[in-house]
């Protein structure tokens, strides 16, 4: 077994089946960007914001499977900080 296969096996043991996680993330993102946002803002979400949310949703899905995995909590903080910095830099923050 090579290093990538070992890593994938380790992550699968921590976070569960990759395919199921991707399906769940896609369903959540679909609901966020199409239904909720469009109904309230009458506009589609810009792609960059989809990317920002995708990272957070990905970590939330992982935490649903393994809530005691500190690395995922740490990543959520990091992604949120990166988004905040990007919004400020681009003048998009309110």
Question: pLDDT digit string (tens) for 32-60?
Answer: 877 667 777 777 778 888 899 999 999 99
Q: pLDDT-based confidence at 68, cuts 50/70/90?
A: very high
Structure tokens at 27: 């369903």
Look up the domain containing 23 and give its range. Answer: 17-90
Q: Does residue 7 lie within any of the structural domains?
A: no
As a whole number, the mean pLDDT across the chain is 88
Q: How many domains does the chain have?
A: 1
Q: Does residue 11 lie within any of the structural domains?
A: no
Kindly state the percentage of the chain with pLDDT values over 70: 98
Q: Does residue 65 lie within any of the structural domains?
A: yes
Torsion of CA 9, 11, 13, 16, to 10 degrees: -110
Give residues with Cβ within 8 angstroms of 14, minimum separation 6. Answer: 62, 65, 66, 69
Q: Does residue 4 lie within any of the structural domains?
A: no
Q: Does residue 2 lie within any of the structural domains?
A: no
Q: Tens digit of pLDDT for each residue in 11-25? A: 999 889 999 999 999
Q: pLDDT-based confidence at 89, cuts 50/70/90?
A: very high
pTM: predicted TM-score of the whole model, two decimal places: 0.79
CB-CB neighbours of 93 under 10 Å: 11
- pLDDT value, residue 35: 67
* C-alpha span between 2 and 10 (Å, rounded): 12
């Amino acid at each position: 077994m090579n290093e990538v296969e070992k890593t994938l096996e380790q992550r699968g043991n921590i976070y569960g089946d990759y395919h199921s996680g991707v399906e769940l993330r896609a369903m959540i993102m679909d609901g966020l960007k199409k239904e909720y946002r469009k109904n309230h803002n009458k506009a589609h979400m810009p792609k960059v914001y989809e990317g920002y949310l995708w990272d957070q949703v990905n970590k939330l899905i992982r935490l649903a499977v393994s809530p005691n995995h500190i690395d995922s909590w740490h990543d959520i903080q990091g992604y949120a900080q990166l988004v905040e910095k990007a919004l400020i830099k681009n003048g998009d923050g309110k």
